[in-house]
Amino acid sequence: MSIEDKAVVSNQYATSSRLETRISIHEKYSRNKLPFGEWVVSHYDLQPGEQVLELGCGTGSMWQGMTLPDGCHVTLTDLSAGMLETARQNTAHLCADYAVCDAMTVPYSAAAFDVVIANMMLYHVPDIDRALSEIRRVLKPNGRFFAATFGEHGAVEAVLEMLKLPCSANHRFTLQNGTAQLEKHFSEIHLIRREDALDVTHLPDLITYLRSMQGMTVLADLPDDELLAVFSAHLKDGVLSLPKEYGLFICT
């Protein structure tokens, strides 16, 4: 990722609005009714007294409604100060600290955390290997690392195929290539896949979702009515079904 690309990402996540747009379509149209955040958090199995670090916490929505075990402490970080402020508001019930943090230069001492979390964000990091090295450094020897990400055959890829456009999706850290990157830093890697799909009934919502993505500039010259015409041709009983490919890496 170039310096220019990093600037685009920083602008994309300067506030939580675009991320919240993308989250909302999944909440509204996902076939799997267990919210993605709850599904991810259910695998953490946090223990009393554990120190937890999350990199790229975003809006902190995955922690909403969650009760921590006794003595468990969470440090939430994000590269975006605006995003972190939203997370602070959403997680006021937690025993937590907050810090603006770059995943490539984590400002904590070695072996400081029992758990490190980096969900849906490693593909944005300019140097993923450096970030994973930092994660390994701050993680205790018997600690656990969680990294949720998407695959290479999801909704975006399906939409681009419908539109007969080249794939412009970010495939820097996916379910398909994540293991090869993680095994340089962790001895055990387990991938849990989530079964799901999007069943969209109001096509303008899909267009809003796609236009909120930094990597979908390929759609910039296509007017909404043209997109609606293509998507409408793929409706079945009033529903446009799109694949979702998400999963969670658990590493030790």
Q: Residue 20: what pLDDT?
A: 84
Q: Which sign, positive or negative, has the C-alpha torsion 203, 205, 208, 212? A: negative
pTM of the prediction?
0.89
- Give the bridge partners for 54, in sequence order: 76, 117
Strands 246-251 and 139-150: antiparallel
* Closest C-alpha among 109, 97, 30, 6 to residue 57: 97
Give percent of the chain above pLDDT 90.
Answer: 85
Q: Residue 2: what pLDDT?
A: 38
Q: Residue 16: what pLDDT?
A: 58
- 3-state SS assignment for residue 30: strand
Type of residue at 182: L
Task: Name the domain count of the chain.
Answer: 1
Give percent of the chain above pLDDT 70.
Answer: 94
pLDDT by residue (tens digit) across 175-201? 999 999 999 999 999 999 999 999 999
Does 67 have pLDDT greater than 80? yes
Can you give the CATH number for the domain in which 69 is found? 3.40.50.150
Containing domain of residue 46, as a range? 3-251
Distance CA 236, CA 68 (A): 44
Burial grade of 45 (CB within 10 A; 0-12, 13-18, 19 or more): exposed
H-state helical runs in 147-234: 155-162, 178-182, 203-211, 224-232
Does 7 have pLDDT greater than 80? no
Cβ pair 16, 78 in contact under 8 A: no
Question: Which whole number is the average pLDDT over 133-148?
Answer: 99
Res. 23 pLDDT band, cuts 50 70 90: confident
- Greatest CA span in the chain, whole angstroms? 56
